[in-house]
Structure 1
Amino acid sequence: MNTVEEPTDAMTASFSAAPYEVSDPWGATTARGLNPMDLSNILSGMPLPAIYTTAFDLARPEGGKISVSALNKILSVSGLPPSTVDKILNIVVPPTRSRITKGECSVTLALVAMAQKNMDLSIENLTAHREDLPIPHLPGLESIDFGSTSESALYSASPAIPRHAHPVHVGSTVSDPWRSSTYSTLKGSGGYPPAPSYLASPPMTSAELPQSADPEATRKEMYQWFLNLDTIRISFAPEKEGIFLFKHVNYIVESKNRQTTVVRRYSDFWWMLEVLSKRFPFRILPNLPPKRLGVADEAFLERRLRGLTRFMNALVRHPVLRSDPLVVSFLTEPVELALWRKDVVISTDDEFTTRLPISESLAKQVPMTLDLELESVKKRLPSSIEYYRNMVNVLDRIQKRAEANAADYTRFSLSMSALADCERKCHIEDCYNCGQLSQGYGKISAHFNKTANLVEDQARATQTGMVESLKRHRDLLVSVKELLQRRDQSREGNVAEMLKKRIANNETKLKALRASAATAAAAAASANSASGDSTAAGIYDAQIEKVVNNIHSDRAELRVQEQRAVLMQHTLWMEITYYHKSHAQIATMYQTFVHEQMKTSQSLFDNWKSLSPIVHDMPMEVNGFN
């Protein structure tokens, strides 16, 4: 009897939950129930030929797994008949599974090699020959098209910007596109923040919007502006580094606009965020994917890779953070960041230190209703975050069901192709209609296989497009929530209140000291001391001078704190404005998703439409089967 797992509630999963931990799309029997043997470990530890790794890597694994449709494309170049391919898939891949691990892929290729040598196809026979397995022959493997929808496709081309040197002065003032014209800014600060693509980028400020009078020209200019935004692409480095038990993964970080490629560790991302959090406490700081204790599996590493990609693209989209010298250095310094850090002095002073003094008109720019607006946003954020988490989980389940559909279309195609071979010859030698049916089976099989490819491309487009876009906006909401929490926990206002109380106490003390000094001076004058001793008056003078100096110092510090308070309010206003304007990307996100759905639906319609005359031409007269 097949075992049935308890259904999990994907709607309550956290936003950092593994995309591969969503409950089974069919909510039915588990793969373990149908296939109790763990095939992924049969060839574990065996020295396998390079073609095993090459085939798996070409199939574009995600989370350490490849789809059944991708596996079928590999098997299609093996030269084996459809019935044999179908038998191999049935041995390795349970009907409820739409993806397989690298170990299971290796077992599949080993069975292919055995079939090519006319060996008996069974797990028992494979286990017996695991020491002397033949090498699979897969001509044309590298020419297989495993689909066009991927993150590399989203890494769309735009006019290349020549590589040039980036002067870096870490800890210096950063240019802020939102600052008033009275501010001092760095030269060549550039425009509005880059973004990962025109499909997921914040809108421009009013000063940067295209100014053409023609609405059509304005739309074209805005479209081109989106295309020219930067994109950060992150991928795994080919080799791990470190000693035997302490190897770590390196990441290749590519900037499209800067035309730079650097290698970074996860700890480098973590260190950069720590420094940025000290320098920009009141900015929207993106979140890093969590650390992991112990051995990280491939699914975890894939989730971390996507999280790091979202993190870096959020940084280069931000109007201020994108121009920070530390971020620029992170993207451009070719040497190891740990070595680079030894040669530079990293400033952790907050950004307000470099922006004082401020213009008197700056406070007038902040709306009087800012605190009310911030409280309104603060109240809505928890619910919005939870809704986005649910939407991510639901759409991820939809994507996995589409992937499972693609796998089933592939299985149906293989079975039908095998059926065409099986029934090619009728028991009646001169039967014409059975031959026609067999040809029809082959054509139907080809159309089902095309359907599988279309549905799988759609599932992949949903994962890399809509699901990632939803996660980007969810991450933005979480970052805004954390910003408002830092604002509530800030002691900036407490310092000013403490200074005011201390100044008031010192002024009271000063009045008392001056009164006492006057009384002592009067008493000394009336006594008409012959020695002219003024010791008491001198003591009062020293105390008065000390209190006066404290008052002046505290008043100067209070002015600084008041200016910092204005800067904090202005920064919060700019950040909440940036957050608000970022909602403009939501429309583009859904427009792109709907366009992809329409495109897939049209392709599916065309595929079924082209199959219609074929099935109508298949023989259906009873008298034809005499």
Structure 2
Amino acid sequence: MSDLYDILDPWGPSNSGTSGGGAVVTGPRMPGFSDSARSYKVILPPVYTIAYSSAKKAGGGRITRDVLQKALAYSGLPRHVIGQIILAADTGAAEISKQDFNLALAMAALAQKNMSPTIDAVLFHKDDLPIPDLDGIEALASSSTASETAFADGPNGKSVGGPPGFMDSSDDPWLSAMAKTPGAPVAAMSAMTLDANDIETTSSAPPVSSLHASKEQQGAGGRTSVSSGSAGAETFVPQISMDAIQWRLDMEDVSIKEAAEKGGIVFKHTNYEVSTRSFSAMVVRRYNDFFWISNYLVKRYPYRMHPNIPPKGFADNRIKGLTRFSSAMLRIPFLRRDALVIQFFSNSDEFSRVVKVGNLDMDAEEVDPDEEAGNTPWSEIRETYAAFDDFYAQVARDEEKYRIQITSLEKIARYKQAIGDELYAYSETIRKLNMPAEGSTNSRRFYKLSKAKRALNNNLNDLSMSFSDVSLLDKSQGEVIKAMSAEYLRRLYDVVISMKLMMDRMRLMDRNKEIQRISERNLSNRKALAQLSGDSPAGADSAAIDRSSIERLERLIGEDTTELKKLETEQRCIEVRFYQELARYKCYESFLQMHYHRLVEEQIKHHTLVLNAWKQALVTADDLPTNPLDFIS
């Protein structure tokens, strides 16, 4: 957001070393960056040689990207910083060269000293290279990356053969929700297939080696069995779509803007131009069309989470809400494949006409519960559904938590903008206006400006500019918090609301009480039938009466049995859908890593800029004249 203001942003785009988002990109290589003192006069400290030797032994004579990552893990830097360094040092070759390995160590040393880990920074410090702190790097030589077991998880969930905490699943946002409570559904991302184009370099998506379950571990029904650490115990991962695009809550695939002209002949309404990259189409829709497709989703997929449409009354934020609603539809795999959703985003006809011509079925989706469950034990599914009320309370707590966070961030944004406005008003009070000079003939003595007074005015103008820069930075920070952090949390808040509404629908559609009632009635009829069938008739009339009663009971039992079978199937659909949607809901927690990483990153950036502005103001303040007698002309 700082590019909105005329302030140089050192964290912004650079043609040589960094990208706009702060991720280091491959820039110009550093020729001759080796351990030779005669090669461009770069003298390497001994730790560079020790680390290179250890890494080469660990890689069996060659250093790959994975070996470099494990070596950098000994630096103790955050995972996203290590990812930036690897991206800058890796040229794409099958093997990391010695100069690129040393370059990565130099950038790691800079990052440890809170300096920018870029190639330009290394070139600047090539004569006095910082020494990286790689405590225990010698242990890397004892590991072998030729086998997958070298850095496999040990029985306590920690890594074996790597630095402390390396590849610890508790630090992995994609695996953080795995089996924290016995019997609860795990939201592991182990079976996830990630597309490299869908993952940002600044996000901490786990390397492939950190996904504990491989394709060979998947069961026949598409489930992934993950070892829980105890002998013979397995945890079953629900089969949910692991399309990487679904978890990118910040991605906008839809652009919506208000059409220039109102629609309708008599009753005017607002038309919206909806453009999508996925379908490469632009369609015109009105709010009622969005409302209709939202109702369709509820009726078609009653046991699933789907996005919520914003209320019609808030005209100012309607476009933003409709954009979030539309983008969410295209991120969720089963909605993106729905025939009506495709028509909504791609058919240029009026949507009411599309619905009438298509004559689309509004019945709920048909689900085979056994097929959906796969090899996941039904005991686990039922055990999860039995804790429905506990999970509902947890979702309610999540709703309150995110609501408070959103409110707090919005208040902080307003305070930052208010502080920026007040600082700007303050800067205006110390800025000296260009006033016409007084005449030298008839002016009194003290109207003449002394040298110190002129210097003071100039310095106050410089201070005014510094304060103005700080005010703009505060306003910029407020805009970032409001537009980025609060909006991202609001999207996650929408997921919580979707989950709560889905659970409300499930609670209303629960069939257990009805199944119990019909089962008791069916059991009573079976007992009555058995009693009538066991009695011997006394005469012809009684035999006819008993036969009529038996036929009636048999008909009732048959009807109840058919109804029970139908209700039990519906109930099993509800239970298996709840099991899967609960897992999908928990997967969204991985989004928090990206949210808080960006929030902290933006805070650091703006505070750094503000600190530099105040330091510049301090230099100007120190130059103010201090001798009182200098002000007398």
Same fold (TM over 0.5): yes
Q: Which amino acid aligns with 2:495?
A: L
Superposition deviation, residue 350 in structure 1 = 1.2
**Counterpart check, 1:411 vs 2:395:** no
Deviations along 1:591-621, one digit per CA (max 9) or x if unpaired, are 1111111100011112222333333334333
**Counterpart check, 1:597 vs 2:610:** no
Contact 2:406 2:486 in 1 (8 A): yes
Contact 1:231 1:256 in 2 (8 A): no
Distance 1:482 1:290, change over 3 A: same
Distance 1:353 1:466, change over 3 A: same
Contact 2:382 2:575 in 1 (8 A): no
1:208 matched residue in structure 2: 192
Superposition deviation, residue 557 in structure 1 = 4.2
Paired residue secondary structure (1:582): helix
Superposition deviation, residue 485 in structure 1 = 2.2
Contact 2:385 2:579 in 1 (8 A): no
After TM superposition, list the pairs within 5 Å mapping 1:156-195 onto structure 2: none
Contact 2:299 2:363 in 1 (8 A): yes
Q: Which amino acid aligns with 1:250?
A: N
Percentage of identical aligned residues:
23
C-alpha separation in 1, matches of 2:283 and 2:276: 9
Superposition deviation, residue 396 in structure 1 = 1.1
C-alpha separation in 2, matches of 1:280 and 1:326: 13
Distance 1:369 1:311, change over 3 A: same
Paired residue secondary structure (1:619): coil
Contact 1:233 1:255 in 2 (8 A): yes
Superposition deviation, residue 257 in structure 1 = 4.0
1:565 matched residue in structure 2: 571
Contact 1:230 1:316 in 2 (8 A): no
C-alpha separation in 2, matches of 1:381 and 1:290: 22
1:338 matched residue in structure 2: 352
Contact 1:424 1:438 in 2 (8 A): no
Task: Give the unaligned 5+ runs of structure 2.
Answer: 14-19, 24-172, 178-186, 197-203, 212-241, 440-445
1:420 matched residue in structure 2: 433
- In the superposition, the TM-score normalised over structure 1's length comes to 0.55
C-alpha separation in 2, matches of 1:615 and 1:505: 94
**Counterpart check, 1:284 vs 2:290:** no
Q: Which amino acid aligns with 1:255?
A: T
2:469 matched residue in structure 1: 450
**Counterpart check, 1:247 vs 2:231:** no
2:364 matched residue in structure 1: 350
Q: Which amino acid aligns with 2:434?
A: D
- In the superposition, the TM-score normalised over structure 2's length comes to 0.55
Distance 1:357 1:402, change over 3 A: closer
After TM superposition, list the pairs within 5 Å mapping 1:164-563 onto structure 2: 205-210=189-194, 217-218=207-208, 231-242=252-263, 246-292=267-313, 300-352=314-366, 361=375, 364=378, 366-417=380-431, 419-422=432-435, 431-501=450-520, 503-504=522-523, 507=526, 519=537, 523=540, 551-552=557-558, 554-563=560-569
Paired residue secondary structure (2:315): helix
Contact 2:259 2:272 in 1 (8 A): no
Deviations along 1:312-332, one digit per CA (max 9) or x if unpaired, are 344334343343333333232
Contact 2:193 2:243 in 1 (8 A): no
Contact 2:194 2:243 in 1 (8 A): no
Superposition deviation, residue 490 in structure 1 = 1.6
Superposition deviation, residue 358 in structure 1 = 6.9
- Match of residue 621, structure 1, among 598, 623, 627: 627
Paired residue secondary structure (2:622): helix
After TM superposition, list the pairs within 5 Å mapping 1:68-79 onto structure 2: none
Contact 1:234 1:251 in 2 (8 A): no
Deviations along 1:138-195, one digit per CA (max 9) or x if unpaired, are xxxxxxx9xx99xxx99x9xxxxxxxxxxxxxxxxxxxxxxxxxxxxxxxxxxxxxxx
C-alpha separation in 1, matches of 2:394 and 2:438: 69
Q: Which amino acid aligns with 1:342?
A: K
Paired residue secondary structure (2:189): coil
- Match of residue 618, structure 2, among 612, 616, 619: 612
C-alpha separation in 2, matches of 1:469 and 1:449: 29
**Counterpart check, 1:582 vs 2:603:** no
Deviations along 1:480-533, one digit per CA (max 9) or x if unpaired, are 2222222222243344345435544654566577679x859x859xxxxxxxxx
Deviations along 1:423-460, one digit per CA (max 9) or x if unpaired, are 87796557434333333333333323322322222111
C-alpha separation in 2, matches of 1:244 and 1:340: 20
Q: Which amino acid aligns with 2:577?
A: T
Q: Which amino acid aligns with 1:391?
A: Q
Contact 1:454 1:603 in 2 (8 A): yes
Superposition deviation, residue 391 in structure 1 = 2.3
C-alpha separation in 2, matches of 1:219 and 1:434: 68
Q: Which amino acid aligns with 2:192?
A: E
Contact 1:492 1:565 in 2 (8 A): yes
Distance 1:215 1:258, change over 3 A: closer
Superposition deviation, residue 569 in structure 1 = 0.8
Paired residue secondary structure (2:309): coil
Distance 1:420 1:613, change over 3 A: farther
Paired residue secondary structure (2:303): coil
Contact 2:368 2:573 in 1 (8 A): no
Contact 1:234 1:309 in 2 (8 A): yes
C-alpha separation in 2, matches of 1:256 and 1:409: 42
C-alpha separation in 2, matches of 1:227 and 1:582: 9
Deviations along 1:107-166, one digit per CA (max 9) or x if unpaired, are xxxxxxxxxxxxxxxxxxxxxxxxxxxxxxxxxxxxxx9xx99xxx99x9xxxxxxxxxx
C-alpha separation in 1, matches of 2:369 and 2:280: 31
C-alpha separation in 1, matches of 2:191 and 2:271: 40
C-alpha separation in 2, matches of 1:356 and 1:387: 36
1:161 matched residue in structure 2: none
Paired residue secondary structure (1:352): coil
Q: Which amino acid aligns with 2:499?
A: V
Contact 2:467 2:617 in 1 (8 A): no
Could you tell which deviates more after superposition, 368-377 or 218-227? 218-227
Task: Give the unaligned 5+ runs of structure 1.
Answer: 1-59, 61-68, 77-144, 157-197, 293-299, 525-535
Contact 1:284 1:483 in 2 (8 A): yes
Contact 1:211 1:218 in 2 (8 A): no
C-alpha separation in 2, matches of 1:388 and 1:227: 18
Superposition deviation, residue 573 in structure 1 = 0.4
Contact 2:248 2:591 in 1 (8 A): no
1:175 matched residue in structure 2: none
Contact 1:420 1:439 in 2 (8 A): no
